[in-house]
Amino acid sequence: MSILIAGNWKMNMTPAESAVLAREILSGMASIEKCCDVLVCPSHVALTSVRSVVDGSALQLGAQNMYCEPKGAFTGEISPGMLLASGCSHVILGHSERRHVLNESDEFINKKMKLALQSNLVPIICVGETISERNDGLTVDIIKRQLELGLKDCRPERADDLAVAYEPVWAIGTGKTASPDQAQQVHVYIREQLRSYYGKTAMSIRILYGGSVNADTIDSLLMQPDIDGALVGGASLKAVPFLALIRAGTKANNT
Ligand code: PEP
């Protein structure tokens, strides 16, 4: 399967600044032969400005979150229909900042997962342990719970309908990347879990790694057999470092 490099722009940049960055990324991609898959996830208010830049191009557009109902009296929330109408193909769900800062539960994330799948948006479900959970030897238990509850009753028809991102909480925005071995071990576990739910389809479900990925760490991460791409925060906020990751993804794809 093709490598995916996905940028999570979090709560950064105005719509105009987001469009400038998208344009810079797109123009850098133009000189990359057989480019890997690339996705950017701007803030909700920047989706339409970025869409006007990326429409019809190879740069895909995603959102950072959505609500678990299709419409109604949910002040401040955003629906899958709104995301689709804004040009999104993907939506990040269960990011650790939403789990830990905004207290989202596995059950809530599961409702969103089901609605995203029904709506033909590709959900990227994020899972990952905190440092104290890792130190207590609980990594596998945490990932098992987050996958089991988060993916309950989710039945993707094709492998491309869904992606998983392993994002150890201790590695997000901290400059500490999981070692390639640490990441691969968890990715293998995730793959096994997916296989127990979805059979051989699971072999082609993308499992991304996220957590302080940068140009120095990406190559060795992408060499691992079960790492199918990266979800990137900090290094996606400027064109030069993000394009370096896209080049690394392209090289891994073509070797
Ligand atoms: C993220 O927020 O998904 C992330 C991986 O951030 P960073 O790359 O900055 O650690």
pLDDT tens digits along 21-55: 999 999 999 999 999 999 999 999 999 999 999 99
Nearest CA to ligand 1 atom 1: 233
Query: pLDDT value at position 1?
Result: 85
Q: Are 169 and 130 in contact (CB under 8 A)?
A: yes
- Please name the amino acid found at residue 159: A
Mutation pick for ligand 1 pocket among 4, 12, 169, 212 (CB with most ligand atoms within 8 Å): 212
How high is the pLDDT of residue 148?
97
Which atom of ligand 1 approaches the CA of 165 most closely? 3
In sequence order, which residues have a C-beta less than 8 Å from that of residue 201 and are 6 or more positions away?
156, 158, 159
Tell me, what's the pLDDT at 149? 98
Q: How many Å apart are CA 240 and CA 249, to the nearest integer?
A: 14
Name the one residue in this structure whose structure tokens are 């987001």.
Answer: 18
**Confidence (pLDDT) at 40:** 98
What is the 72 CA–ligand 1 centroid distance (Å)? 32
pLDDT of residue 255: 79
Average pLDDT value for the chain: 97
How many other C-beta atoms can be found within 10 angstroms of the C-beta atom of residue 229?
31
Token pair of 113 as six digits: 């997962």
Active site residue 192: no
Phi and psi at residue 161, to the nearest 5°: -75, -10
Q: Is the CB of 92 under 6 A from ligand 1?
A: no
- Nearest CA owner, ligand 1 atom 2: 233
Residue 62 confidence (pLDDT): 98
Catalytic residue chosen out of the listed positions 97, 104, 133, 167: 167
* Banded model confidence at residue 204, pLDDT cuts 50, 70, 90: very high
Domains contained in the chain, CATH given: 4-253 (3.20.20.70)
3-state SS, the chain, equals CCCEEEEECCCCCCHHHHHHHHHHHHHHHCCCCCCCEEEEECCHHHHHHHHHHHCCCCEEEEECCCCCCCCCCCCCCCCHHHHHHCCCCEEEECCHHHHHCCCCCHHHHHHHHHHHHHCCCEEEEEECCCHHHHHCCCHHHHHHHHHHHHCCCCCCCCHHHCEEEECCHHHCCCCCCCCHHHHHHHHHHHHHHHHHHHHHHHHHCEEEEECCCCCCCHHHHHCCCCCCEEEECHHHCCHHHHHHHHHHHHHHHCC
Q: What is the mean pLDDT of residues 174-186?
A: 94
Write the pLDDT tens digit of every residue in 87-133: 999 999 999 999 999 999 999 999 999 999 999 999 999 999 999 99
What does the block give as tokens for 156? 């993707």
Q: Residue 128: CB within 6 Å of ligand 1?
A: no
Residue nearest to atom 4 of ligand 1 (CA): 233
**Annotated catalytic, 95?**
yes
